[in-house]
Amino acid sequence: MRSVSFRHPYYMIAGAALALLATSGCAWAQESPSSYRIVGYAGGWNPAQTKDAGKIDTLIFAFAGLKNGSVVLDENDAKRLHDLLALKSNNPKLHVDISVGGWTVGGFSEAASTPAGRQQFADSAAQLIAAQHADGLDVDWEYPGHHESGIHSSPQDKANFTLLLKAIRTSLDRVGAMNSRTGANHYTLSIAIADGPFVSDIDIAAINPYLDWFNLMTYDFVNANTSTTGHHTGLHASALIAGDGRTTDRAVEQFLAAGVAPRKLVIGAALYGREFAEVKPDHHGLYQTYGHFQGSHNWPELKQDYINKQGYVRYWDTAAQAPWLWNAQTRRFISYDDPQSIAAKAAYVKAQHLGGIMYWEQTLDPSDELLNDMWRGLR
Protein backbone atom coordinates (compact mmCIF):
# COMPACT_ATOMS: atom_id res chain seq x y z
CA MET A 1 0.00 0.00 0.00
CA ARG A 2 1.88 2.97 -1.17
CA SER A 3 1.02 4.24 -1.60
CA VAL A 4 -13.97 9.27 -1.68
CA SER A 5 -25.11 11.94 1.10
CA PHE A 6 -25.99 8.55 1.81
CA ARG A 7 -28.64 8.61 -0.94
CA HIS A 8 -28.93 4.96 -1.92
CA PRO A 9 -29.12 2.49 1.01
CA TYR A 10 -26.77 -0.36 0.20
CA TYR A 11 -29.35 -2.98 1.11
CA MET A 12 -31.37 -1.83 -1.94
CA ILE A 13 -28.66 -3.01 -4.30
CA ALA A 14 -29.70 -6.64 -4.34
CA GLY A 15 -32.33 -8.91 -2.88
CA ALA A 16 -33.14 -10.17 0.57
CA ALA A 17 -29.96 -12.22 0.93
CA LEU A 18 -27.76 -9.19 0.39
CA ALA A 19 -30.00 -7.14 2.66
CA LEU A 20 -29.41 -9.55 5.52
CA LEU A 21 -25.69 -9.56 4.79
CA ALA A 22 -25.49 -5.79 4.66
CA THR A 23 -27.24 -5.33 7.98
CA SER A 24 -25.68 -8.20 9.91
CA GLY A 25 -22.18 -8.08 8.45
CA CYS A 26 -21.36 -4.42 8.91
CA ALA A 27 -21.72 -3.83 12.63
CA TRP A 28 -18.40 -1.93 12.61
CA ALA A 29 -20.00 0.85 10.59
CA GLN A 30 -23.09 1.08 12.77
CA GLU A 31 -21.43 2.23 15.98
CA SER A 32 -22.70 5.20 17.95
CA PRO A 33 -22.33 8.43 15.90
CA SER A 34 -20.14 9.81 18.71
CA SER A 35 -17.42 7.21 18.15
CA TYR A 36 -14.90 7.83 15.38
CA ARG A 37 -12.27 5.25 14.57
CA ILE A 38 -8.51 5.34 14.15
CA VAL A 39 -7.25 2.60 11.88
CA GLY A 40 -3.52 2.16 11.43
CA TYR A 41 -1.52 0.03 9.03
CA ALA A 42 1.51 -1.52 10.69
CA GLY A 43 4.38 -3.48 9.23
CA GLY A 44 5.66 -4.07 12.75
CA TRP A 45 5.53 -2.66 16.24
CA ASN A 46 7.94 -0.50 18.20
CA PRO A 47 7.64 -1.45 21.91
CA ALA A 48 8.04 2.22 22.86
CA GLN A 49 4.69 2.92 21.22
CA THR A 50 2.76 0.40 23.33
CA LYS A 51 1.66 3.18 25.71
CA ASP A 52 -0.55 4.58 22.92
CA ALA A 53 -2.04 1.31 21.65
CA GLY A 54 -5.31 2.08 23.42
CA LYS A 55 -5.86 5.06 21.12
CA ILE A 56 -6.06 2.79 18.08
CA ASP A 57 -9.27 0.97 17.22
CA THR A 58 -7.89 -1.34 14.52
CA LEU A 59 -4.33 -2.19 13.59
CA ILE A 60 -3.97 -3.74 10.15
CA PHE A 61 -0.92 -5.93 9.69
CA ALA A 62 0.85 -5.26 6.39
CA PHE A 63 1.19 -7.64 4.67
CA ALA A 64 0.25 -11.24 4.15
CA GLY A 65 1.25 -12.59 0.77
CA LEU A 66 -0.56 -14.25 -2.10
CA LYS A 67 1.13 -17.47 -3.17
CA ASN A 68 -0.34 -19.75 -5.82
CA GLY A 69 -3.72 -18.22 -5.17
CA SER A 70 -3.67 -18.66 -1.37
CA VAL A 71 -3.30 -16.01 1.31
CA VAL A 72 -0.21 -16.95 3.33
CA LEU A 73 2.22 -15.72 5.98
CA ASP A 74 5.87 -16.68 6.01
CA GLU A 75 7.68 -17.24 9.29
CA ASN A 76 9.02 -13.69 9.56
CA ASP A 77 5.63 -12.15 8.78
CA ALA A 78 3.98 -14.39 11.38
CA LYS A 79 6.43 -13.12 14.01
CA ARG A 80 5.67 -9.49 13.19
CA LEU A 81 1.94 -10.20 13.29
CA HIS A 82 2.35 -11.88 16.66
CA ASP A 83 3.85 -8.65 18.04
CA LEU A 84 0.68 -6.81 17.06
CA LEU A 85 -1.64 -9.50 18.40
CA ALA A 86 0.20 -9.44 21.74
CA LEU A 87 -1.04 -5.88 22.25
CA LYS A 88 -4.57 -7.24 22.66
CA SER A 89 -3.74 -8.75 26.04
CA ASN A 90 -3.57 -5.28 27.62
CA ASN A 91 -5.95 -3.63 25.14
CA PRO A 92 -8.98 -5.93 24.88
CA LYS A 93 -10.87 -3.49 22.65
CA LEU A 94 -8.07 -3.39 20.08
CA HIS A 95 -8.77 -5.21 16.83
CA VAL A 96 -5.92 -6.60 14.75
CA ASP A 97 -6.65 -7.40 11.11
CA ILE A 98 -4.46 -8.90 8.40
CA SER A 99 -4.04 -7.15 5.06
CA VAL A 100 -3.11 -9.08 1.93
CA GLY A 101 -1.43 -7.41 -1.01
CA GLY A 102 0.17 -3.98 -1.29
CA TRP A 103 1.77 -1.99 -4.09
CA THR A 104 3.43 -4.24 -6.74
CA VAL A 105 1.87 -7.41 -5.28
CA GLY A 106 0.20 -9.37 -8.05
CA GLY A 107 -1.80 -12.55 -8.32
CA PHE A 108 -5.17 -10.98 -7.53
CA SER A 109 -6.44 -10.85 -11.09
CA GLU A 110 -5.49 -14.45 -11.69
CA ALA A 111 -6.97 -15.70 -8.41
CA ALA A 112 -10.23 -13.81 -8.94
CA SER A 113 -10.69 -14.98 -12.53
CA THR A 114 -12.37 -18.33 -11.76
CA PRO A 115 -14.87 -19.61 -9.19
CA ALA A 116 -12.29 -22.12 -7.93
CA GLY A 117 -9.63 -19.42 -7.61
CA ARG A 118 -11.93 -17.12 -5.70
CA GLN A 119 -12.90 -19.92 -3.34
CA GLN A 120 -9.28 -20.84 -2.71
CA PHE A 121 -8.41 -17.22 -1.95
CA ALA A 122 -11.44 -16.78 0.31
CA ASP A 123 -11.04 -20.04 2.24
CA SER A 124 -7.30 -19.62 2.77
CA ALA A 125 -7.84 -16.04 4.03
CA ALA A 126 -10.59 -17.05 6.47
CA GLN A 127 -8.57 -19.98 7.76
CA LEU A 128 -5.54 -17.74 8.26
CA ILE A 129 -7.59 -15.21 10.23
CA ALA A 130 -8.92 -17.95 12.49
CA ALA A 131 -5.57 -19.70 12.93
CA GLN A 132 -3.82 -16.45 13.89
CA HIS A 133 -6.68 -15.32 16.18
CA ALA A 134 -6.97 -12.10 14.20
CA ASP A 135 -10.16 -10.07 13.86
CA GLY A 136 -10.60 -9.57 10.16
CA LEU A 137 -9.18 -9.28 6.66
CA ASP A 138 -8.19 -6.23 4.63
CA VAL A 139 -7.76 -6.63 0.86
CA ASP A 140 -5.21 -4.31 -0.77
CA TRP A 141 -5.38 -5.00 -4.51
CA GLU A 142 -3.68 -2.06 -6.23
CA TYR A 143 -5.68 -1.92 -8.47
CA PRO A 144 -8.36 -4.00 -10.24
CA GLY A 145 -8.19 -3.32 -13.96
CA HIS A 146 -4.93 -1.37 -13.62
CA HIS A 147 -1.30 -2.35 -14.05
CA GLU A 148 0.55 0.83 -12.98
CA SER A 149 2.26 -1.12 -10.19
CA GLY A 150 3.50 -3.74 -12.63
CA ILE A 151 0.90 -6.41 -11.86
CA HIS A 152 -1.33 -8.32 -14.24
CA SER A 153 -4.80 -6.94 -14.87
CA SER A 154 -7.80 -7.91 -16.95
CA PRO A 155 -10.97 -6.28 -18.33
CA GLN A 156 -12.85 -8.84 -16.24
CA ASP A 157 -11.35 -7.55 -12.97
CA LYS A 158 -14.33 -5.30 -12.30
CA ALA A 159 -16.85 -8.11 -12.10
CA ASN A 160 -14.39 -10.56 -10.59
CA PHE A 161 -13.42 -8.23 -7.75
CA THR A 162 -17.05 -8.09 -6.64
CA LEU A 163 -17.29 -11.88 -6.83
CA LEU A 164 -14.04 -12.26 -4.89
CA LEU A 165 -15.23 -10.05 -2.05
CA LYS A 166 -18.55 -11.91 -1.98
CA ALA A 167 -16.66 -15.21 -1.64
CA ILE A 168 -14.44 -13.80 1.11
CA ARG A 169 -17.42 -12.48 3.06
CA THR A 170 -19.10 -15.89 2.85
CA SER A 171 -15.97 -17.75 3.98
CA LEU A 172 -15.32 -15.32 6.84
CA ASP A 173 -18.89 -15.77 8.07
CA ARG A 174 -18.71 -19.55 7.81
CA VAL A 175 -15.37 -19.86 9.61
CA GLY A 176 -16.44 -17.19 12.05
CA ALA A 177 -19.53 -19.17 13.04
CA MET A 178 -17.26 -22.13 13.81
CA ASN A 179 -15.19 -19.92 16.11
CA SER A 180 -17.99 -18.03 17.87
CA ARG A 181 -17.26 -14.90 15.82
CA THR A 182 -20.74 -13.75 14.89
CA GLY A 183 -22.91 -10.66 15.21
CA ALA A 184 -21.02 -7.63 16.49
CA ASN A 185 -17.98 -9.89 16.99
CA HIS A 186 -17.89 -11.16 13.41
CA TYR A 187 -14.70 -11.26 11.33
CA THR A 188 -14.58 -7.92 9.54
CA LEU A 189 -13.77 -7.31 5.89
CA SER A 190 -12.30 -4.03 4.64
CA ILE A 191 -10.38 -2.91 1.59
CA ALA A 192 -7.66 -0.38 0.92
CA ILE A 193 -8.98 1.63 -2.01
CA ALA A 194 -7.90 4.66 -4.00
CA ASP A 195 -10.17 7.10 -5.81
CA GLY A 196 -10.60 8.98 -9.06
CA PRO A 197 -9.33 7.05 -12.08
CA PHE A 198 -7.96 4.26 -9.90
CA VAL A 199 -11.46 2.93 -9.16
CA SER A 200 -12.57 2.93 -12.78
CA ASP A 201 -12.66 -0.86 -12.68
CA ILE A 202 -14.39 -1.23 -9.31
CA ASP A 203 -18.17 -1.32 -8.95
CA ILE A 204 -18.32 0.56 -5.64
CA ALA A 205 -22.06 0.06 -5.20
CA ALA A 206 -21.79 -3.68 -5.84
CA ILE A 207 -18.94 -4.32 -3.38
CA ASN A 208 -20.40 -2.08 -0.69
CA PRO A 209 -22.69 -4.71 0.96
CA TYR A 210 -19.79 -7.10 1.59
CA LEU A 211 -17.56 -4.58 3.37
CA ASP A 212 -17.51 -3.30 6.93
CA TRP A 213 -15.63 -0.19 5.86
CA PHE A 214 -13.45 1.37 3.17
CA ASN A 215 -9.88 2.49 3.93
CA LEU A 216 -9.56 5.43 1.53
CA MET A 217 -5.96 5.84 0.45
CA THR A 218 -6.21 9.61 0.33
CA TYR A 219 -2.49 10.12 0.08
CA ASP A 220 0.11 9.87 -2.69
CA PHE A 221 -2.12 12.10 -4.83
CA VAL A 222 1.17 13.39 -6.24
CA ASN A 223 4.18 11.11 -6.56
CA ALA A 224 6.94 9.99 -8.90
CA ASN A 225 4.33 9.16 -11.55
CA THR A 226 2.53 12.50 -11.61
CA SER A 227 3.54 15.45 -13.77
CA THR A 228 3.52 18.12 -11.06
CA THR A 229 4.09 18.66 -7.37
CA GLY A 230 1.12 19.32 -5.12
CA HIS A 231 -0.54 18.25 -1.90
CA HIS A 232 -0.02 14.51 -1.73
CA THR A 233 -2.65 14.13 1.00
CA GLY A 234 -4.60 17.39 0.77
CA LEU A 235 -8.06 17.68 2.26
CA HIS A 236 -9.66 20.10 -0.21
CA ALA A 237 -8.78 21.46 -3.64
CA SER A 238 -6.04 24.07 -3.79
CA ALA A 239 -6.71 27.16 -5.89
CA LEU A 240 -3.81 25.94 -8.06
CA ILE A 241 -5.00 22.38 -8.61
CA ALA A 242 -5.73 21.49 -12.23
CA GLY A 243 -9.11 20.16 -13.33
CA ASP A 244 -10.30 17.12 -11.41
CA GLY A 245 -7.06 16.69 -9.48
CA ARG A 246 -7.38 14.33 -6.53
CA THR A 247 -8.21 15.48 -3.00
CA THR A 248 -9.61 13.80 0.10
CA ASP A 249 -12.92 15.65 -0.15
CA ARG A 250 -13.35 14.69 -3.81
CA ALA A 251 -12.64 11.06 -2.93
CA VAL A 252 -15.28 11.10 -0.22
CA GLU A 253 -17.82 12.65 -2.59
CA GLN A 254 -17.10 9.95 -5.15
CA PHE A 255 -17.90 7.17 -2.69
CA LEU A 256 -20.94 8.91 -1.24
CA ALA A 257 -22.31 9.32 -4.76
CA ALA A 258 -21.96 5.55 -5.22
CA GLY A 259 -24.21 4.99 -2.21
CA VAL A 260 -21.68 4.22 0.50
CA ALA A 261 -22.78 5.26 3.98
CA PRO A 262 -20.60 8.04 5.43
CA ARG A 263 -19.80 5.92 8.51
CA LYS A 264 -18.17 3.31 6.29
CA LEU A 265 -15.63 5.81 4.92
CA VAL A 266 -12.30 6.10 6.75
CA ILE A 267 -10.09 8.78 5.21
CA GLY A 268 -6.32 8.45 5.00
CA ALA A 269 -3.54 10.44 6.62
CA ALA A 270 0.19 10.16 5.90
CA LEU A 271 2.94 9.86 8.48
CA TYR A 272 5.48 10.73 5.77
CA GLY A 273 6.18 13.40 3.19
CA ARG A 274 7.01 13.35 -0.53
CA GLU A 275 9.91 15.45 -1.85
CA PHE A 276 10.42 16.71 -5.40
CA ALA A 277 13.58 18.28 -6.88
CA GLU A 278 14.31 20.79 -9.66
CA VAL A 279 10.87 22.29 -9.19
CA LYS A 280 9.63 25.30 -11.14
CA PRO A 281 9.69 28.12 -8.55
CA ASP A 282 6.29 29.71 -9.24
CA HIS A 283 3.92 29.75 -6.23
CA HIS A 284 6.73 28.45 -4.00
CA GLY A 285 6.75 25.19 -5.96
CA LEU A 286 3.08 24.32 -5.40
CA TYR A 287 1.51 22.40 -8.33
CA GLN A 288 4.55 22.97 -10.53
CA THR A 289 6.52 20.76 -12.89
CA TYR A 290 9.68 19.18 -11.51
CA GLY A 291 12.86 17.47 -12.64
CA HIS A 292 12.77 14.33 -10.54
CA PHE A 293 11.15 12.75 -7.52
CA GLN A 294 13.58 13.01 -4.63
CA GLY A 295 12.12 10.55 -2.12
CA SER A 296 10.17 10.22 1.11
CA HIS A 297 10.73 11.40 4.69
CA ASN A 298 8.97 10.13 7.79
CA TRP A 299 7.50 12.54 10.33
CA PRO A 300 10.50 12.61 12.74
CA GLU A 301 12.84 13.38 9.82
CA LEU A 302 10.60 16.19 8.67
CA LYS A 303 10.59 17.76 12.13
CA GLN A 304 14.30 17.33 12.76
CA ASP A 305 15.77 18.27 9.40
CA TYR A 306 13.26 20.02 7.16
CA ILE A 307 10.41 22.05 8.65
CA ASN A 308 11.73 25.63 8.72
CA LYS A 309 15.29 24.27 8.64
CA GLN A 310 18.10 24.19 6.06
CA GLY A 311 16.27 26.63 3.82
CA TYR A 312 12.95 24.76 3.83
CA VAL A 313 10.12 27.19 4.65
CA ARG A 314 6.71 25.97 5.75
CA TYR A 315 3.66 27.34 3.94
CA TRP A 316 -0.02 26.71 4.60
CA ASP A 317 -2.67 26.38 1.88
CA THR A 318 -5.88 27.70 3.44
CA ALA A 319 -8.08 26.36 0.64
CA ALA A 320 -6.58 22.88 0.68
CA GLN A 321 -6.04 22.82 4.47
CA ALA A 322 -2.59 21.39 3.88
CA PRO A 323 1.05 22.42 4.53
CA TRP A 324 4.05 22.26 2.25
CA LEU A 325 7.74 23.08 2.39
CA TRP A 326 9.64 25.10 -0.21
CA ASN A 327 13.39 25.55 -0.46
CA ALA A 328 14.02 28.49 -2.79
CA GLN A 329 17.78 27.88 -2.92
CA THR A 330 17.64 24.20 -3.93
CA ARG A 331 14.18 24.37 -5.60
CA ARG A 332 12.92 21.44 -3.61
CA PHE A 333 9.32 20.91 -2.53
CA ILE A 334 7.88 18.63 0.19
CA SER A 335 4.23 17.73 0.77
CA TYR A 336 3.16 16.13 4.05
CA ASP A 337 0.61 15.94 6.90
CA ASP A 338 1.25 17.75 10.18
CA PRO A 339 -0.73 18.49 13.37
CA GLN A 340 -2.63 21.35 11.69
CA SER A 341 -3.72 19.30 8.68
CA ILE A 342 -4.55 16.32 10.91
CA ALA A 343 -6.80 18.59 12.98
CA ALA A 344 -8.51 19.74 9.79
CA LYS A 345 -9.10 16.14 8.73
CA ALA A 346 -10.52 15.24 12.14
CA ALA A 347 -12.90 18.21 11.96
CA TYR A 348 -13.91 17.12 8.45
CA VAL A 349 -14.63 13.57 9.65
CA LYS A 350 -16.93 14.95 12.33
CA ALA A 351 -18.65 17.42 10.03
CA GLN A 352 -19.32 14.76 7.40
CA HIS A 353 -20.15 12.02 9.95
CA LEU A 354 -17.51 9.72 8.47
CA GLY A 355 -16.06 6.63 10.10
CA GLY A 356 -12.68 8.00 11.14
CA ILE A 357 -9.07 8.33 10.04
CA MET A 358 -6.70 5.67 8.72
CA TYR A 359 -2.96 6.16 8.42
CA TRP A 360 0.09 4.71 6.74
CA GLU A 361 2.21 3.56 8.57
CA GLN A 362 2.69 2.95 12.30
CA THR A 363 6.49 2.77 12.46
CA LEU A 364 6.92 6.08 10.56
CA ASP A 365 5.97 8.08 13.66
CA PRO A 366 7.74 6.42 16.62
CA SER A 367 6.70 9.15 19.05
CA ASP A 368 3.03 8.74 18.08
CA GLU A 369 2.74 12.51 17.78
CA LEU A 370 0.45 12.46 14.75
CA LEU A 371 -1.50 9.51 16.17
CA ASN A 372 -2.13 11.58 19.28
CA ASP A 373 -3.29 14.48 17.11
CA MET A 374 -5.80 12.16 15.42
CA TRP A 375 -7.00 10.84 18.74
CA ARG A 376 -7.49 14.29 20.24
CA GLY A 377 -9.16 15.61 17.10
CA LEU A 378 -11.69 12.78 16.96
CA ARG A 379 -12.66 12.88 20.64
3-class DSSP state for residue 335?
strand
Residue 71's DSSP bridge partners are: 66
HEC letters along 114-175 = CHHHHHHHHHHHHHHHHHHCCCEEEEECCCCCCCCCCCCCCCCHHHHHHHHHHHHHHHHHHH
CA 242 to chain centre: 24
Exposed/middle/buried for residue 121 (C-beta within 10 Å: 0-12, 13-18, 19+): buried
Write down the pLDDT at residue 280: 98
Per-residue CA distances from 38 to 132, 343, 349 (Å)? 22, 13, 11
Read out DSSP for 263-276?
A: GGEEEEEESEEEEE
At residue 34, the pLDDT reads 56
Most distant pair of Cα atoms in the chain: their distance: 64
369 is catalytic: no
Instruction: Considering the candidates 142, 148, 253, 278, report the single residue annotated as catalytic.
Output: 142
CATH superfamily of 10-270+338-378: Glycosidases (3.20.20.80)
The C-alpha atoms of residue 99 and residue 192 are separated, in whole angstroms, by: 9
Q: How many other β-carbons are positioned within 10 Å of the β-carbon of residue 348?
A: 19
Strands 332-335 and 37-42: unpaired
Reading the chain (379 residues) residue by residue, the pLDDT tens digits are: 443 222 233 233 333 333 334 433 455 544 444 589 999 999 989 998 999 999 999 999 999 999 999 999 999 999 999 999 999 999 999 999 999 999 999 999 999 999 999 999 999 999 999 999 999 999 999 999 999 999 999 999 999 999 999 999 999 999 999 999 999 999 999 999 999 999 999 999 999 999 999 999 999 999 999 999 999 999 999 999 999 999 999 999 999 999 999 999 999 999 999 999 999 999 999 999 999 999 999 999 999 999 999 999 999 999 999 999 999 999 999 999 999 999 999 999 999 999 999 999 999 999 999 999 999 999 9
Query: What are the domain boundaries of the chain?
Result: 10-270+338-378
Cβ burial of 63 (10 Å; 0-12, 13-18, 19+) is buried
